[in-house]
Structure 1
Amino acid sequence: MIDVQRLRVLRTVAEHGSFNQAAAALHLTPSAVSQHVAALERSLGAQVVARSTRGVTLTPAGRIMVGAAESVAAELVHAKQQVDRLGSGRGQITIATFTSGGRLLLPGALASLAAAHPDTVVHVREAEPEDSLPLVRQGAVDVALAYHFDGPLPGRLGPSSSLAWTALMKDPLHVVLPDAHRLADRASLDIAELADDPWVLGCLKTEAYLRRYAERAGFDPEVRSTTTDYFFARSLVAAGVGISLIPSIALAPQIAGVRTVPVAPPTPTRHIGVATILRRNNPQVMTVIQALQEQIETLEES
């Protein structure tokens, strides 16, 4: 029998990368943390961490056990929530979402959820993927509407992960130009053609993405303004501050004074999906995922 407390200790060690920091987080001594990990290794008959002067790293067996620890922790939180709801007789779901995706996709999905499960209490919290995915793993959130760019998700996926990822749509980025821009009438643009233009960006991740593409095109972009809101970024474009790179779903509502031009291949793209706990058969969660899929199908047909 694997001790749940030892799994919790291993998970904390993995999060902090050292026995000392894990001990502080758990209000234990480093010696107690080491003893818990050693006892877990004895019960498994396998080493779960590799110790060095620079800290500890997970072994393959350790990664498997941390994934199991995340699943166990999330299931315990879920079970406690179910017990808490027994008295009220009402279901409950907590959804995390990034702003532009939530604004466009979530309202229709929540309407479908209300129709299918009228007694369900819905909680929505705004969070970027690097924050929302850990919340799903911890059981604090039932489903996260999230995204990633061409690279991997900001969280562990794979055989040892407690997360399941359901891809929903590709969200290509477009260049947004002032009406009077020399290239505003083009059908598409290569990023390299904009090497001399100043930029206004709607989030820090888009800036990092632009710089990566610009480096491939051989130039260093001049970023004059960085905001946390794509609508504000487009407003600055309309005011002549610079040009911008905006995901498709953040292009509504329209703003006077700007033109939107697709980027020629290879097109910068966000990949939107939902993260849930693996093997969780929650009817409210399944309704939300299905409603999001139907919402996207409707948008793509229009």
Structure 2
Amino acid sequence: MATLVCVDVMAISDASLTALRVFREVAERGTLTAAASALGYTQSAVSRQIAALERAAGTSLLERRHDGVRLTPAGQIVVRRAAAVVGQLDATARELAGLPGEQGTVRLGWFPTAGAELLPRALTALRRTDPAITVVSREGGTPALVRAVRAGTVDLALLASAPPFRPPDTETPALAVRVLTERSLRVAVPATHPLARREYVDVVDLRGQRWIAGSGDDRVMGVWPGLDERPEIAHTARDWLAKLHLVAAGCGITTVPGSLGAVAPPGVRVLQVRGGPGERRRVLLAHLPRPLSEAAERVAAALRAAAVETEEG
């Protein structure tokens, strides 16, 4: 049965632009604290803006939970409208400032390792084929990027996905998702490591190794999934390049997506792993379930072509 959502539309139209910006930021960041930090506000100021918006709407827009906040059905409606209003005003400001207009600007979010080869390759091709398109991009973890798509602060998001390849979130309507590529997970080892003498690594050889693990939202680079022992974590780092330099220094080994083999620093070998269940990773392109602008479609096509090229490489 469909849920009846009642929102005072006229009251929302009178809400301040500041309140709409704050609400959009909270929806994207997932917590009041993170939104306050991003906006340079105090948490109490953010809470007051949200409370004012909820009074104007005549209903609750956020569900407060121990791990942050989640949009209510009414909140999902309001954030879509807020994103549209704020986006139009920002586009107007850009045009008045002489910057590219909305139709030629695409906002793209990407997970960290996509910036190593996939993103630069796509942007290089776009500058050659579609120089009128401006891509404004930012890095983020997959959960944060999904929230940004929902909040309307990015048009497209490159996401990393691991088995069992569930949808990016459980919100409705479901995001439109395209699989750009699927590749096997690999391991990066120091060039001086005994395993580096081989063309591939057997999964049993990963036992007893020292690992460089990821942190935060990083689920790509870290310990080999399903390792049948308690791993020894030698170092933990968020930045993928830092992990690879730690590998080069002989501090341990780490997992990597296959696409990073071409950009690994000197002193690192990236090897396939055989034996045991196959470990696959997908690169997805997600956006709201509505037609993309012509510029966004051109960016999506460039990303797809770049993903195929990196896969062949």
Which residue of the partner structure matches residue 300 of structure 1? 311
Which residue of the partner structure matches residue 137 of structure 2? 124
Larger radius of gyration: 1
Which residue of the partner structure matches residue 27 of structure 1? 48
Give the aligned residue type for 1:68: I
Change (3 A) 1:285 1:157: farther
Change (3 A) 1:77 1:266: farther
Please give the alpha-carbon distance, in whole angstroms, between the structure 1 residues aligned to 2:172 and 2:125: 32
Please give the alpha-carbon distance, in whole angstroms, between the structure 1 residues aligned to 2:53 and 2:254: 49
Change (3 A) 1:137 1:186: same
Shift of 1:73: 2.6
Please give the alpha-carbon distance, in whole angstroms, between the structure 1 residues aligned to 2:62 and 2:269: 54
Give the aligned residue type for 2:233: V
Please give the alpha-carbon distance, in whole angstroms, between the structure 2 residues aligned to 1:145 and 1:51: 28
3-state secondary structure, aligned to 1:27: helix
Is 1:291 matched up with 2:302? Answer: yes
3-state secondary structure, aligned to 2:233: strand
Which residue of the partner structure matches residue 71 of structure 1? 80
Is 1:229 matched up with 2:239? Answer: yes
Deviations 1:250-294 (A, max 9, x none): 223344444332223423333212222331421221111111111
Please give the alpha-carbon distance, in whole angstroms, between the structure 1 residues aligned to 2:49 and 2:83: 22
Relative to structure 2, which stretch is displaced further, 256-265 or 205-214?
205-214
Which residue of the partner structure matches residue 98 of structure 1? 111
Which residue of the partner structure matches residue 107 of structure 1? 120
Please give the alpha-carbon distance, in whole angstroms, between the structure 2 residues aligned to 1:280 and 1:293: 17
Is 1:174 matched up with 2:183? Answer: no
Equivalent position to 2:293, from 274, 278, 282? 282
Give the aligned residue type for 2:131: P
Deviations 1:132-177 (A, max 9, x none): 332232222222222132366795345335x432221124321223
Give the aligned residue type for 1:100: T
Number of aligned residue pairs: 282
3-state secondary structure, aligned to 1:298: helix
* Identity score, percent: 25
Matches within 5 A, 1:1-302: 2-4=7-9, 5=12, 25-27=46-48, 39-40=58-59, 64-87=73-96, 88=98, 90=101, 91-150=104-163, 156-157=169-170, 159-161=172-174, 163-184=175-196, 185=198, 187-190=200-203, 192-201=204-213, 205-206=218-219, 210=223, 213-214=226-227, 217=228, 219-264=229-274, 265-302=276-313
Structure 2: 5+ residue stretches without partners: 1-5, 33-42
Structure 1: 5+ residue stretches without partners: 42-47
Contact 1:93 1:284 (C-alpha < 8 Å) held by counterparts: yes
Contact 1:95 1:142 (C-alpha < 8 Å) held by counterparts: yes
3-state secondary structure, aligned to 2:205: helix
Please give the alpha-carbon distance, in whole angstroms, between the structure 1 residues aligned to 2:191 and 2:263: 16
Contact 1:150 1:270 (C-alpha < 8 Å) held by counterparts: yes
Change (3 A) 1:65 1:150: farther
Please give the alpha-carbon distance, in whole angstroms, between the structure 2 residues aligned to 1:135 and 1:171: 26
3-state secondary structure, aligned to 1:140: coil
Give the aligned residue type for 2:253: I
Change (3 A) 1:98 1:155: same
Please give the alpha-carbon distance, in whole angstroms, between the structure 2 residues aligned to 1:173 and 1:82: 40
Change (3 A) 1:295 1:23: same
Please give the alpha-carbon distance, in whole angstroms, between the structure 1 residues aligned to 2:154 and 2:186: 31
Contact 2:148 2:154 (C-alpha < 8 Å) held by counterparts: yes
Give the aligned residue type for 2:210: P
Please give the alpha-carbon distance, in whole angstroms, between the structure 1 residues aligned to 2:219 and 2:169: 22
Change (3 A) 1:49 1:177: closer
TM-score, scaled relative to structure 2: 0.69
TM-score, scaled relative to structure 1: 0.71
How big is the alpha-carbon RMSD for the aligned residues of Structure 1 and Structure 2? Answer: 4.2
